[in-house]
Structure formats: C-alpha cells, structure tokens
Amino acid sequence: MFLSRKLSDKLVFHGKSSDNSSKNSLHRHIDPAILPQEYGGQLESIEKLNQTFVQWTRENHAKMTQLDGFGVDLKQVSELFKKVQKDN
C-alpha cells in the first residue's frame, strides 16, 4: 500500500461538481470561516488573500529576518508548550 492505513484514513478527497455536494462535503471537514470564497468560504478570494499576504511579507520582511536570526528551535518550543498544557 502506498500510504499507511492510519494516514489514508485521515485523507478525504473532495471532487468538483455542478451542485453543492462538493462544498457541503468540504464544509463538513473544514469550517467555511477559514476558507476562501472559491471554496464556499467566508474569506476573501484566493487572489485577494495572496495580495494581502505578499504585501504583509514585504512590510514585515525586516522583522521576519530578525526573528529568523534568533535561531529558535520550534521543536523545543512545541515540546515545552505540550508540557505546560499537560501540567495545567
């Protein structure tokens, strides 16, 4: 098998259809509040979201480069976060 059973059980494919069955299927798995208009969501279009993201990255490039230079190991941060959640 190309994918393990555990992984294949987590994958859901949504096809294209002329009716709303594909969007309804998608919305059962992903909240429309976080989907773009093209997928029946409440966000702006993919093109507008992309433009906003590109603009944001240009405006914040210096900050992002500085943060990248700190060399934070996200794996350690993730493990610490899990430990704090477990303790609380």
Residue 88 pLDDT class (50, 70, 90 cuts): low
Average pLDDT over residues 6-17: 86
At residue 77, the pLDDT reads 75
At residue 85, the pLDDT reads 79
In percent, the amount of the chain with pLDDT more than 90 equals 43
Q: What is the pLDDT of residues 46-63, one digit of tens each?
A: 999 999 999 999 999 988
* Tokens found for residue 44: 């702006």
As a 3-state breakdown, the chain gives helix, strand, coil percent values, each rounded to 5, of 65, 0, 35
Which has the closest alpha carbon to 38: 61, 22, 54?
22
Q: Which amino acid is at 19?
A: D
Cα–Cα distance measured from residue 18 to residue 58, given in angstroms and rounded to the nearest whole number: 38
Could you tell me the residue ranges of all domains in the chain?
Answer: 5-46+58-87
At residue 65, the pLDDT reads 83
